Amino acid sequence: MMVLGSLNPDIFAFVYNDFLCRTLERAKTMTMPNGRGVRSAPNSIRHLIPGFWKQFDFPDIVAALAPRPVICTEGGLDRDFQLISAAYRMAGAPDHFQYHHQPRFADPAQRWHGSQLPAGLDRDAFFRFANVDPRNHFFKKDLVIPWLKTLLDKSDNKN
């Protein structure tokens, strides 16, 4: 949907209901095999657009949606949110990008703030470094519904 959103200007707004990460970095760092010797497959769009994941990370694609409204609801690394926020400032719409961390990482002191993930991570370690609590993954209607209502109200007032 991110790619479709960046290609189709008719898509008015985007809800990113997952944690945000750099997919290429995830593939390079999440290399520790589990107890069965299997390496976790990182999430990416390589099954949809071959080779695309090697050129564009998810934060790049979200930044390309600027100035259209985007909300990220499940956290990630602050460095990636800063990249997207900068794109929205450059597009003249800094208030069109909103992001939220999961409760476990809402306090900045609880988040990892490094610039580059270490190599050799297993899935659990990757999630800790990425500031994500997989057990807290669900649709964040308490964030999304009011956000969408505000956007629709503003849209109605323009017409």
Cβ neighbours of residue 119 closer than 8 Å, sequence gap 6 or more? 28, 29, 31
For the stretch 36-59, pLDDT in tens is 888 777 666 666 677 777 777 889
CA 95 to chain CA centroid, Å, is 17
- What integer pLDDT is reported at residue 43 of this predicted model? 66
Asked if the model's pLDDT at residue 156 lies above 90, the reply is no
- For residues 39 and 60, which has the higher predicted lDDT (pLDDT)? 60
Per-residue pLDDT, 76: 96
Summarize pLDDT for 1-39 with one digit per residue, the tens. 777 778 888 999 999 999 999 988 988 898 888 888 887
Q: Mean pLDDT over residues 86-93, rounded?
A: 98
Contact 21, 77 (CB under 8 A): yes
